[in-house]
Amino acid sequence: MSLTELSMLELAAKLASGEVTSLEATRACLTRIAQVEGKVKAFLRLDEKGALAAAEASDARRKAGNPASPLDGVPIGLKDIFLTEGTETTCASRILQGFIPPYDATVVRLLKEAGLPILGKLNMDEFAMGSSTEGSAFGPTYNPWDLERTPGGSSGGSAAAVAACEVFGALGTDTGGSIRQPAALTNTVGLKPTYGRVSRYGVIAYASSLDQVGPMTRTVADTAALLQLLARHDPLDSTSAKADAPDYREDLEGGVRGLRLGVPREYFTEGMDPEVEQAVREALKAYERMGATLVDVSLPHTKYALATYYLLATAEASSNLARYDGIRYGQRAKDAKGLKELYGLTRDRGFGAEVKRRIMLGTYALSAGYYDAYYLRAQKVRTLIRQDFAGAFEQVDALLSPTSPVPAFKLGEKVADPLSMYLMDVFTLPCNLAGLPGLSLPCGFTKSNLPIGLQILGKPFDEARLLRIGRAFEREHGFTRRFPAL
């Protein structure tokens, strides 16, 4: 096994023992990036100088016997949605080209304080709006398992970089499945924490009541270790929960014996790829063999979740993206002859097609005469969806389902059909509407060697149990230790 194929915790153990230095690990990542980045295109920009300087500082701390955290010295990548002081941050949009943030997002600050070298910013769908990373203004990212296919989105660059062993771990954001769906399509592990568990301060907003930051790694244990660094109250984020985080690794090996795991019948629908359904059903049987009890449950308002999500998310996007006007920061149409033309030309040239589509949908839903019929009604249905989950969790400890209804699809296959693209999030977005935690981990491969993901949904702030359930399956099957041939 090469150095870059180690998990975050495996590398951390070697750093602690002195067998490997952070500088060696960071240089190994940069070498790997040079080898495969031309095929994968996961990065929008590298910070080689900054990463190497952070690695040297980490090695000095280790030598002095004073590491900043258990993951001190482990190189990582960031989705290009996190403000990073002194580093261009574009959210994969031309409207933010040249924007250099004057401060770090809270999660970026926490990573730096923990001593993790940041290798650079990773590709994504523009403003996190998409399910394939084809919405990036700077070109798509390619799935390391099949370079003709998408790695998913919007955190596709993060997922691809982890899968291709360019980084040991990465951060993404999940508004309707943007961590879990790309994790499923790339044989990686992705966690969307409970809304409010991780600070959103300094994260460029798409839909503020849905967005959540989470880790993307190659193993469940790595996800637990990375979440440990991030899960804390932040007074700078008004939605940050005042809830103490447990030790996520303490009960990681506790197994599932005695747990009741729900199987929502609405998550096994017509049109699902048969190989995906077969792999997930086999995973359900594996949990039974490990001592869990499977319980059939119903989430009756699931059929309304997709429409509800796209009304609420686009409405919030319309409001959030109003700030990009060509005046305060980012790109400006310099040939505009007046204020109204400045707004129009800047936004027309700066935003891509999908962002424009969602702004228009959201503005319509919020407009006079339609607010009650669309936005307000969607909020009421959101409450019903949340109540469905609450009722299910009175019977079970967690829920199991597919993450994505299909494996990775070919690039260009769904670009001209937005509704088909939106359906890629049909199993992931309900938990965002309810503010619940969700974990995706590998559970198999198709006959053509495309990864398949299993989703585990839990009660609010019950990430520790999700990680324990995921680890039990990972320990028995080891899909996370398979790597693409690039």
At residue 46, the pLDDT reads 98
At residue 420, the pLDDT reads 84
At residue 480, the pLDDT reads 85
At residue 103, the pLDDT reads 98
Average pLDDT, the chain: 96
Phi, psi of 212, deg, nearest 5: -150, 140
Rounded average pLDDT over 383-410: 98
Query: In which element (H, E) is residue 161 found?
Result: helix 156-163
At residue 271, the pLDDT reads 84
Which of these is catalytic: 7, 22, 158, 178? 178
Least confident of 100-104, 152-156, 202-206, 324-328: 324-328
Cis peptide before 132 (omega within 30 of 0): no
79 catalytic per annotation? yes
The model's pLDDT over 211-270, given as tens digits with 9 standing for 90+, comes to 999 999 999 999 999 999 999 999 999 999 999 999 999 999 999 999 999 999 999 988
At residue 81, the pLDDT reads 98
Torsion, CA 228, CA 229, CA 231, CA 235, rounded to 10: 160
Rounded average pLDDT over 342-362: 94
- Only one residue has tokens 């103490």, namely 244
Q: Does the pTM of the predicted model rise above 0.85?
A: yes
**Residues with Cβ within 8 Å of residue 93, at least 6 apart in sequence:** 126, 127, 137, 350, 351, 352, 355
At residue 205, the pLDDT reads 97
The model's pLDDT over 398-440, given as tens digits with 9 standing for 90+, comes to 999 999 999 999 999 998 888 788 888 999 999 999 999 999 9
| Selected residue with higher pLDDT from 79 and 479 | 79
At residue 82, the pLDDT reads 98
Angle between helices 220-230 and 463-477 (to 10 degrees): 160
Q: For residues 130 and 148, give the distance between their C-alpha atoms in angstroms, rounded to a whole number.
A: 18
CATH code for 3-258+397-481?
3.90.1300.10
Least confident of 57-66, 140-149, 414-423, 477-486: 414-423
Ordered by start, the domain boundaries in the chain are: 3-258+397-481
Torsion, CA 232, CA 194, CA 223, CA 23, rounded to 10: -40
Rounded average pLDDT over 275-304: 97
178 catalytic per annotation? yes
Could you tell me how many residues make up the chain? 486
Which of these is catalytic: 7, 69, 132, 154? 154
What does 312-362 look like in DSSP terms, one character per residue? HHHHHHHHHGGG-SSSSSS---TT-SSHHHHHHHHHHHHS-HHHHHHHHHH
At residue 106, the pLDDT reads 98
At residue 415, the pLDDT reads 87
User: Does 56 have pLDDT greater than 90?
Assistant: yes
User: Does 298 have pLDDT greater than 90?
Assistant: yes
The model's pLDDT over 8-43, given as tens digits with 9 standing for 90+, comes to 999 999 999 999 999 999 999 999 999 999 999 999
At residue 330, the pLDDT reads 81
**Nearest of 408, 397, 154, 447 to residue 275 by alpha carbon:** 447
Judging by DSSP bridges, how do beta strands 213-217 and 43-46 pair with one another?
A: unpaired
First to last CA, the chain: 15
